[in-house]
Amino acid sequence: MTKTFGATSTTGDVLDGITLNGKRVLVTGVSAGLGVETARALAAHGAEVVGAVRDIAKAEAATAPVRAQAAKGGGLHLIQLDLASLASVRACADALNADGRPFDVVIANAGVMRTPFGRTADGFETQFGTNHLGHFVFVNRIAPLIASGGRLVNVASSGHRYSDVDLDDPNFERTPYDPMVAYGRSKTANILFAVAFDKKHKARGVRATALHPGGIKTELGRHMEPDELDTLVAQINAQLAANGEPPFQWKTIPQGAATSVWAAVVASADEVGGRYCENCQVSDVTDGLISPVSPGVRSYALDPAHADALWKKSEEMVGERF
């Protein structure tokens, strides 16, 4: 009988009884929060995890529990990857391709949120450049390494509801900068990238999905002032109350990483391929006036034509065709 999981399920719950020996998984952002827990859970069940991180020294310290709890056959190897620099992205991809060993799963977990206005090393708006374009180039360059039957899992967010992508002004050159709108654009892009990648690679047995991990207190919120976060939660709870829904609940880190590992190695490929997931389930499309934390995905984030247009725009921006 298939187990059913939900918002309170943990990585331990969804991986209970599952052995991942012989599986090789790449996870970006394995230096804090969800990335560390995702790597820990997978390695603890026997997977060989490659963690791509910007700061190797920081990650070495943060991932001590991953190595300590790795099962026989499981383990962790770190590689350097700065998603805000396409030179770094290309160098990392080149090294992995030269190594040639395949991956069963790639989890694009790394990201930034609500940053002040800035630009990446290549001149892209920080959040779109890091969260989307960095992963876009990295994943596409290593796509041949994803084995048949493998998956791409993009960690997106319910924050995609704050904004669709803006293909006419992706770098806020004409639009007033709003950090949450910029975050929303980048998270919508994460979902659309999964939709397009799934379409392009489905025929060779590789699927892609995107997900919202839930609200978790991690380093991702470091650019927010404490009172700003409290104000945002109060606004969300007021909206939830008006909708007759219970108040917002923070997830623990093991609960937050549960959907990542569920979508990567537990759910069936046909169930999650080209879809958006949360709370260890596939989400319904909801375009009505709902709270940013209520379940559901906006239709613009799953539109195949829109995904193709973003792919083409992304290729133009990074100067590569995939």
Catalytic positions are 183
CA dihedral 83, 87, 93, 96 (to 10 degrees): -110
CB of 114 within 8 A of CB of 223? yes
CB of 175 within 8 A of CB of 132? no
> Tokens in use for 32?
């804090």
Residue 229: CB partners within 8 Å, gap ≥ 6? 221
Residue 36: CB partners within 8 Å, gap ≥ 6? 30, 62, 63, 65, 66
Amino acid identity, position 212: H
> Tokens in use for 194?
């999964």
Which residue is associated with the tokens 């350097």? 80
Q: Which of 101, 106, 102, 173 is nearest to 135 (CA)?
A: 106
d(Cα 215, Cα 301) in Å, to the nearest integer? 20
CB of 161 within 8 A of CB of 184? yes
**Residue 149 zone, left/alpha/beta (φ > 0; ψ -120 to 50; rest):** left
d(Cα 285, Cα 302) in Å, to the nearest integer? 9
Amino acid identity, position 122: D
Q: Say how many residues make up the chain.
A: 322
